[in-house]
Structure 1
C-alpha cells in the first residue's frame, strides 16, 4: 500500500526526521497526491532552513501561496504535475519563520503587559521582553502557538494540513509542548484565582475608599485571565488533535543509513510516549540494484539498515522510495514523485 493509502482520511499529518533526508519533498509530493484525489491541502514548513519555495519554484512565505490547482495551473500541460484535471483539489504552501514568530509573539504580549502597567514602567517591560526573546523555550512556545492557530484554522478551510517539520530532536520537543504548556497555563490560572480572591478580601477590608482601585484592578485581572484562558484552550485543543489517531498521524522520513535509522527508532519511541500515531516510515532514496557495482553494493548495505528498522519498529508500515536521477525541483518533478506515493 502506498503512503496516501496508509494515511487514509486523516487530516493532519506531520513529516519528520533527520535533516537532509527529503522531508520537504515527501510532504509536498504527498500533498500533491492528495490534491489529485480531489482534496484541498495546506502544506506548512516549520523548518528554519525552508526549502518549500525552492522545491516548488515559487515564492512562499508567512502567508498562504497557491502552489497547484486553480489559477496555479493556468496553461499547465499534462506533464506539469499532472495538470489540473476535473475534480482535482489544490495545494497551498506556507513557511513559518520561528524567529519572526517569536518576535511577533513577544511584541504582542509586551503590548498587552504595558497596557496593564503604569507608563513609567514601560521601558522595564521592553527590557524584560528583549531578554525573554533569548530565553530557552521562548521560540518553541511561540512556534507551537502559531502552529496551533494555523492547523485549527486550516482545518476549517482545507481537507488536510501537512507539516514539513524541523529536524528530529526539535520536532519531538515541540510535539511534547501542548501537554506541558496547557498544564503550565492551568497552573497560572489557578494562581490568578487565588490572587484575585486575596485582592478582593483586602479591598473589602478597606471599604469604599478602594472602589476606584478595585475597578482598575478588575479590568487588569479580567484581561490577564482572558489571555491565559485563550492560550490554555488553544493548547488543550492542539493536544487533543495530536493524540487523535483518527485525525492526526506522523510520517517518519529517513535514508537507509545507520544514523537516520537510529534517530528514527528514537523518534518513534518519543512519539509513542506522547500518544502520537505513527502512520508510516518512508525510506527515501533507495539505491537501485541494477545500475552498476557501486550502487548495487550500496543497495545491499541499505537493505541491512532497513532490516534493522523493521526489527526495531515492527508495527510501523514501511514505504520505500527509489533514488531518482536529478533533483526534485518544480511542480512537474513533484508530480512525478507524487506518483510513487499512490
Structure 2
C-alpha cells in the first residue's frame, strides 16, 4: 500500500487521531478509515471517547471499554471519560495511602473526591488510558485509530505528555529524597532497614517512563487527521488546530473536507449553497495546500449503520500508512 505520510516518519505510522470542531463528522470518518485499514489487512483498533456511543451504532456492534471484535481484523472500543476519571483518581488514592500519614488521609480523601469533577482530570485519565493502548501497537494491533473529542479537549489532551512527565518525574525525585532521609534517620537510630521496595516510587517511575514513551510516539508514529466542513467557522478552527499541533510537533496527515454538496443547477437554493461551498473550497485548497485534502461528498442519507459506513469507506482513498 502506498503511504502519503512517509515523509513524516522514519518508522511506521501506527496511530491516527481524527479531530476537529464538533459536528463535522469525525466519528464517521474515523470509523470508515479504520474499516479501510482493516480491509487492507492491518489489525486495526478503533477507539472512541464519544459518550453518545455512536461508533457502536455505526458498526452495529455492541461495544464496551475494552477492545471487542467488530469485523475481520477490526476491533473497537468506547471509552467512558467519566468512568476513567474515577478510576484514575482511585489509583492516585491507592498510591497516596502509602505515601502520607493516616492523620491526613481524611483531608486527602475529600480533595480526591472533588478532583473527579475538576478541570483536567478527565483529560489526564484519558491520556493515561491512551498510553496503555499505545503499548498494544505493534503487537496486539498494527494500527490504532482514535476518534477524539472536539478541538479544545483534544489540544489539552495532546499537550499533557510534557506536563505530566515533568510532574511525575518531580514527584519521583521528591519521593526518592524522602526515602533517603528516612534511611539516614533509621541508620542513626539503629533501626533495621526494611527490605520492602517503595511501591509508590516504583509506580511513579513506571508512569514517568510510560509518559515519556508516549510523548515520543506522538511525534514519531502518529498523524493527526483534521476533519472540517466547507464553512467559515470550521475552516478557521482547523487552521488554528494545525498551527497549534505544529507547535506541539505532532505531524498532520490528511485533511478531510466532509459533506460536500453535489452541484444541482436545477435548484436555485442548492446552486447558491454550492456556489458558496465552492468559494470556501477554493480557499481551503489554497490555505491547506501543504496537506493532502480528502474531499468527501455529502451522502444522500445519514450514515446510520454498517452497510452505509462500508459504502463510505469504499469512496475514501486507500488508507495512507507506512509499511
| Match 2:229 to one of 243, 255, 260 | 255
1: CA distance, partners of 2:78 / 2:138? 17
Alignment partner, residue 173 of structure 1: 156
Q: Determine helix, strand or coil for the equivalent of 1:260.
A: helix
Alignment partner, residue 303 of structure 1: 278
Kindly state the Cα deviation for residue 40 of structure 1 after the two structures are TM-superposed.
1.4
8 Å CA contact 1:48, 1:97 repeated in 2: yes
Does residue 238 of the first structure (1) align with residue 214 of the second (2)?
A: yes
Q: 1:239 to 1:106 in 2, by over 3 A?
A: same
Equivalent runs, 1:1-342 vs 2, <5 Å? 6-7=4-5, 10-69=13-72, 90-116=73-99, 122-204=105-187, 206-208=188-190, 210-211=191-192, 214-215=193-194, 219=196, 222-244=198-220, 247-290=221-264, 292-342=267-317
1: CA distance, partners of 2:297 / 2:18? 18
8 Å CA contact 1:66, 1:93 repeated in 2: yes
Q: Determine helix, strand or coil for the equivalent of 1:93.
A: strand
Kindly state the Cα deviation for residue 113 of structure 1 after the two structures are TM-superposed.
2.6
Q: TM-score, normalised by structure 1?
A: 0.84
Kindly state the Cα deviation for residue 54 of structure 1 after the two structures are TM-superposed.
1.7
8 Å CA contact 1:114, 1:125 repeated in 2: no
| Larger helix percent | 1
8 Å CA contact 1:15, 1:251 repeated in 2: yes
Indicate the larger mover: 264-273 or 286-295. Answer: 286-295
What does the per-residue CA deviation read over 1:29-53, in whole Å, with 9 as the maximum and x for residues that have no partner? 1111111111111000023343111
Q: TM-score, normalised by structure 2?
A: 0.89
Q: Determine helix, strand or coil for the equivalent of 1:162.
A: strand
Q: Determine helix, strand or coil for the equivalent of 2:27.
A: helix
Kindly state the Cα deviation for residue 117 of structure 1 after the two structures are TM-superposed.
5.2
Structure 2 segments unaligned to the other structure (5+ residues): 7-11, 318-323
1: CA distance, partners of 2:109 / 2:189? 36
Q: Determine helix, strand or coil for the equivalent of 1:243.
A: helix
Structure 1 segments unaligned to the other structure (5+ residues): 70-89
What does the per-residue CA deviation read over 1:50-93, in whole Å, with 9 as the maximum and x for residues that have no partner? 31112222211202222222xxxxxxxxxxxxxxxxxxxx2211
